[in-house]
A = this chain, B = another copy of it.
Amino acid sequence: MRQVPAKLAAKLYGAAELIAERGIGDAKIDEIAEAAGIPRATLYYYFTGKDEILAFLLHDMLDLVAGEVGTAVAGTGTARDRLKAVVGAQLSVMLENPAVCRALVGELGRASRLPDLAKALQMAFHEPVERLLEEGVEDGTLRKLDNPFAAALSVFGAVTVAGLTHAVAGLSSDPATVANEVCDVILGGLQTET
């Protein structure tokens, strides 16, 4: 895969909706080319095929998530506050790029075939959250859990599915509201005081 010029990358996003809607398998390369406003031959000049186009889009978005999440983690405040910020950051990116985000989830099941993608996801979200959980134990704002790895997984799931559902259904698309709803559950828990 050649170095993709920024101008071309921007145009590619014009095809994200199509890919998300029909899946990479059912979207014809000619349609992608047309939707993006890029000649077919040019696509093949930069990418070896459809899959690589998809991989490029996904990677691009994950970089975005990783950046925002990184900023949130590095911010000031308690670990709990920063965890909230992380959730908000991920949801912001997701809801601002609903099409790419849908495409991403559509390929999640193939994660084992796309080790790069799985790793990028890990770096972008999972690892920072796990670290925050540890810091929260230290500063006393988060509860100590038996299995922080599993906890980070659950947090990731809750955030991702919430984001995806809103992205697909186009529900109340305010990231802040969604973030609050998710945080309410994962921070406060569902049960009454024991």
Contact = CB atoms under 8 A, between A and B. Distances in A.
Interface of A: 20-26, 80, 83, 102-113, 133, 136, 140-143, 145-147, 150-151, 153-162, 164-165, 168, 178, 181-182, 184-192
Nearest to A111: B168
A163 B172 CA distance: 28
Contact of A158 (B23, B25, B80, B157): B157
Contact of A142 (B107, B133, B191): B191
The dominant DSSP class at the A interface is helix
A22 B182 contact: no
Nearest to A154: B158
25 contacts: A23-B109, A25-B25, A106-B107, A106-B108, A106-B110, A108-B109, A111-B168, A136-B190, A136-B191, A142-B191, A143-B190, A147-B181, A147-B184, A150-B178, A150-B185, A153-B162, A154-B161, A154-B162, A154-B181, A154-B186, A157-B161, A158-B158, A186-B190, A187-B191, A188-B191
Nearest to A170: B112
A110 B107 CA distance: 10
A192 B135 CA distance: 13
A1 B143 CA distance: 52
Contacts of A23: 25, 109-110, 113
A182 B161 contact: no
